[in-house]
Amino acid sequence: MSNKNIFPKWSNVIPGFVAAGLGLIGISVIFVFWYWFSPKHLEVGYQPHQPIPYSHKLHAGELGMDCRYCHFTVEKATHASIPPTEVCMNCHTTIKTDSPHIKKLTESYETGKPIEWVKVHQLPDYAYFDHSRHVNSGIGCASCHGRVDKMEEVRQVEPLSMSWCLECHRNVEDFVRPKDKIAEMDYHSENQQVEGEFLKSLYKLAPREDCTTCHR
141 and 62 within one domain: yes
- At 83-142, the pLDDT tens digits run 999 999 999 999 999 999 999 999 999 999 999 999 999 998 999 999 999 999 999 999
Residue 109 lies in a domain: yes
Residue 154 lies in a domain: yes
> Domain range spanning residue 20?
13-40
71 and 171 within one domain: yes
Cβ–Cβ under 8 Å, residues 158 and 201:
no
76 and 149 within one domain: yes
Number of domains composing the chain: 3
DSSP symbol at 150: G
Residue 36 lies in a domain: yes
163 and 200 within one domain: yes
Q: Which residues contact 204 (CB under 8 A, 6 or more apart)?
A: none
131 and 93 within one domain: no
Q: Output phi, psi for 44, to 5 deg.
A: -60, 130
Per-residue confidence of the chain (216 residues) as pLDDT tens digits? 555 667 677 767 777 777 777 778 777 777 666 665 566 667 899 999 999 999 999 999 999 999 999 999 999 999 998 999 999 999 999 999 999 999 999 999 999 999 999 999 999 899 999 999 999 999 999 999 999 999 999 999 999 999 999 999 999 999 999 999 999 999 999 999 999 999 999 999 999 999 999 998
Report how far residue 72's alpha carbon sits from residue 22's, in angstroms, rounded to the nearest whole number. 55
128 and 179 within one domain: yes
∠ CA 177-149-40, rounded to 5° = 75
